[in-house]
Structure 1
Amino acid sequence: MSLTVPDARRNASPYLYGREAASVARVLEAGQYGHTDLTVEFESRIAEHLGVPDVVAVSSGTAALHSALLAVGIGPGDDVIVPSMTFCATVQVIRAVGAAPRFIDVDPATLCVTPQLVMDAVTDDTAAVLPVLFGGRAVDLGPIRDDLAERGIVVIEDAAHAFGSRCGPRPVGGDETALTCFSFGPVKNLTCGQGGAVIPRTPEDASAVRRLRMLGVAQSRSERAETTGYRVEGFGLRYQLSSINAAIGLAQLDHFDTTVRTRRHVWRTYRDALDALDGVMLVDVDFDRTVPHLCQVRVPRRDHIFAHLRARGIGVGVHYPPNHLQPAFARWTRDLPATERVSREVLSLPFHQHLTEGDVHRVVTALGHALKVTGGS
């Protein structure tokens, strides 16, 4: 069995509304491709959308995490608590600043960390906690915020999957006690083609990230244009968001309400169709606060089912192989039974806005067939 719709052969796919190309064309015609007033406008629109005072746009979600860690002084000798079940970029930025990852388990029901799992991992060397908002699900560390603050431990949220989601009454990114890092990569809920953003806690955080994204230079673009030199105040990287990428993001923002409705509709269609299958556990989504980024199930004999479906042109995936079992991070391996168990079962179904209800039902029918022929049901 195979799908006849090309886009449904992918696990994820960018979705454009038709205005993005014209927005980029205007930037190209203007001849200003780097960090310009259009980037500043994108930052302002994101800040307005989230109801926060400031946003610092950067070149990727990885750049956002890296900049946030550097901005708050995380470095050699520090431990950063992080779930093993995340994309490797989350761990690589910890290593990039010279800190050590302290891997922790996740709640199998959500694939996210819990306050108790975090507190159980805190040591005298813990300098930061990096919760991952997996699949778009918010992580509420409210019960331990005061404990972490008293110990001087910074919270930096990896919200790469979670733009548009909420944590209680506030949007993700609206918590003034945490730095929040978004990704606007090709298949995220909001795309800039490539990009990211840091939501700072304070003006000092914002200034630090802005210096870092411009090679340590303190002056703004307009200030540099009025002088014969510039001042480098510290370490920095070239992490600005280009006006080309900002133009795509601004066009996407105009339709974000539609994005939310569509992604929730596709996920609900999966949920209803999967009810008919035995042996499949859907990783749940709380629609009161989540804009889903993934549609994941837990199945027996996952690797066999994965191979069966991929051979039939169905774009299933695995998000993600545990990092504590990766060769590059073997030094920090710990016993994480829930993560290891779930990682053998979890399967990401094709999930993006191009999918029709017919596509979803064909995927679920194929999954049911795979369960039978592989002995999974």
Structure 2
Amino acid sequence: MSTSTTSTSTPEAVRRNARPYLHGPEMAAMAAAMEAGQYGHGPQADLFEQELADYLGVPDVVAVSCATVGIHLALQVCGVGPGTEVIVPSQTFAATIQPIVALGAAPRFIDHSPDTLCVEPKAVREAITPATRAVLPVLYGGRPIDLTGIVPELRRRNIHIVEDAAQAFGSRRTEGPATTVYSFGPIKQLTALVGGAIVPRTGEEAESLRQMRSLGITSSQADRIRTTTYSVRGPGLRGVLPDVNAAVGRIQLARFDEVAALRTSLWKAYAHALDGASGVALVDVGADAVPFNCVVRVPGRDRVHRIMRDRGIGVGVHYPPNHLQPAFARWTRSLPITERAAGEILSLPFHPAMTPDDARWTAAALLEALADASR
């Protein structure tokens, strides 16, 4: 770790920001889907849902246009609405919070563990009020969260668990009665360019979610074009996953284990290179995760960030805390652990096009930046 990086040009994979990791056949799959002429939910989406269910070992999966819509629908089917509250960490992307607000509910922000940046059962239990209808844990970085210890209490109070697993496709699925929402956005472990999926708890919930993602219409698009009418039975959004995106997702899923291995190897290279490094705390994702990113906590984060960006290294911050955002000011409360972490977290370059050598180079560059920032 003593080798200087300042005289060495920044590797291209470290310099650029993450982008979709494509295997090659995605373009042809998209073209075939376009030529088939089905631009909404069609046969590719049906196949993608079945293949996802098979891969995850679950009875059913409901594909949606994006994870934000998925969270919205999953909360709505659990009864979240005006007068209710959803317990949620502040340390997450704003896409986790906006569906709560859109449904007329109140986000009840809680602190996370300083080590994992994920919520723990004790904090959830302490935040429960008579208005609580759901808990929305965020699987930050891909780390599974175990809330099984408080499940009996949640059941007794009719409080549902909806997992924001946008960063956690491929990670070990949490045991227990949770509705899980995945993201297939551009830089996720599995991409459909844009898209998402919900793992429902029951067949009845799956049926409701399918209706809700189609504007509350009970019949499929294929059935509607063959008849003169249709029935709208309840609330809904335009939230289907187009066949073009599903076609990309199917190619990605077929080679997902390859990507999972690349991400795991890269994360381990970072962990080994930073082991014992002074002033750097690696946010652990655990042994059961397919890592989404590599986040460290460092003193003087803003200066370190600026130094590394000036040197062409694609670092970032994920994310500014939501309880301090103007849009959510009415629900602000003191969260000292979150607020401290917010000034220290730094995301290092992390995507499957990088190699372990790239990770080691970046780790050395981080230590140089820390030394320079302290002068």
Identity %: 53
Q: Distance in 2 between matches of 1:233 and 1:357?
A: 53
1:147-186 mapped onto 2 (5 Å cutoff): 147-166=153-172, 171-172=173-174, 175=175, 177-186=177-186
1:219-258 mapped onto 2 (5 Å cutoff): 219-258=219-258
Aligned to 2:302: 303
With the length of structure 2 as denominator, give the TM-score of the two structures.
0.96
Structure 2 contact 13–358 (Cα < 8 Å) conserved: no
Moved more, 18-27 or 236-245: 18-27
Q: Which string of whole-angstrom CA distances, capped at 9 and with x for unpartnered residues, describes residues 131-154 of structure 1?
A: 000000001100001100100101
Q: Which string of whole-angstrom CA distances, capped at 9 and with x for unpartnered residues, describes residues 298-332 of structure 1?
A: 10000100011011111101111110111111111
Moved more, 25-34 or 186-195: 25-34
SS at match of 1:293: coil
Q: Distance in 1 between matches of 2:306 and 2:56?
A: 41
Q: Distance in 2 between matches of 1:13 and 1:119?
A: 38
Does 2:331 match 1:332?
yes
Q: Distance in 2 between matches of 1:374 and 1:31?
A: 56
Residue in structure 1 matching 2:84, options 78, 81, 89: 78
Q: Distance in 2 between matches of 1:12 and 1:179?
A: 29
Q: Which string of whole-angstrom CA distances, capped at 9 and with x for unpartnered residues, describes residues 125-172 of structure 1?
A: 111100000000001100001100100101100000011111xxxx34
Aligned to 1:126: 132
User: Shift of the alpha carbon at 1:272?
Assistant: 1.3
Q: CA RMSD in A?
A: 1.4
Aligned positions, number: 369
* Structure 1 unaligned blocks of 5 or more: none
Structure 2 contact 216–235 (Cα < 8 Å) conserved: yes
Structure 2 contact 79–133 (Cα < 8 Å) conserved: no
User: Shift of the alpha carbon at 1:237?
Assistant: 1.1
SS at match of 1:45: helix
1:85-124 mapped onto 2 (5 Å cutoff): 85-124=91-130
Q: Distance in 2 between matches of 1:58 and 1:33?
A: 14
User: Shift of the alpha carbon at 1:276?
Assistant: 5.7
Q: Distance in 2 between matches of 1:3 and 1:284?
A: 29
SS at match of 2:70: helix
SS at match of 1:156: strand
User: Shift of the alpha carbon at 1:205?
Assistant: 1.1
Does 2:29 match 1:30?
no
Structure 2 contact 10–313 (Cα < 8 Å) conserved: no
SS at match of 2:88: strand
Structure 2 contact 186–194 (Cα < 8 Å) conserved: yes
Does 2:46 match 1:40?
yes
Residue in structure 2 matching 1:49, options 52, 55, 63: 55
SS at match of 1:315: coil
SS at match of 1:81: strand
User: Shift of the alpha carbon at 1:176?
Assistant: 5.7
Moved more, 186-195 or 4-13: 4-13
Aligned to 1:323: 322
SS at match of 2:250: helix
User: Shift of the alpha carbon at 1:244?
Assistant: 0.5
Structure 1 contact 106–112 (Cα < 8 Å) conserved: yes
Q: Distance in 2 between matches of 1:126 and 1:183?
A: 25
Q: Distance in 1 between matches of 2:142 and 2:356?
A: 22
Q: Which amino acid aligns with 1:182?
A: Y
Aligned to 2:3: none
Q: Distance in 2 between matches of 1:126 and 1:259?
A: 38
SS at match of 2:268: helix
Does 2:20 match 1:14?
yes
Structure 1 contact 137–290 (Cα < 8 Å) conserved: yes
Q: Distance in 2 between matches of 1:116 and 1:156?
A: 17
Structure 1 contact 81–128 (Cα < 8 Å) conserved: yes
Aligned to 2:374: 375
Moved more, 139-148 or 229-238: 229-238
Structure 1 contact 13–354 (Cα < 8 Å) conserved: no
Q: Which string of whole-angstrom CA distances, capped at 9 and with x for unpartnered residues, describes residues 57-98 of structure 1?
A: 000010100111122221000010000000011111100100
Structure 1 contact 94–100 (Cα < 8 Å) conserved: yes
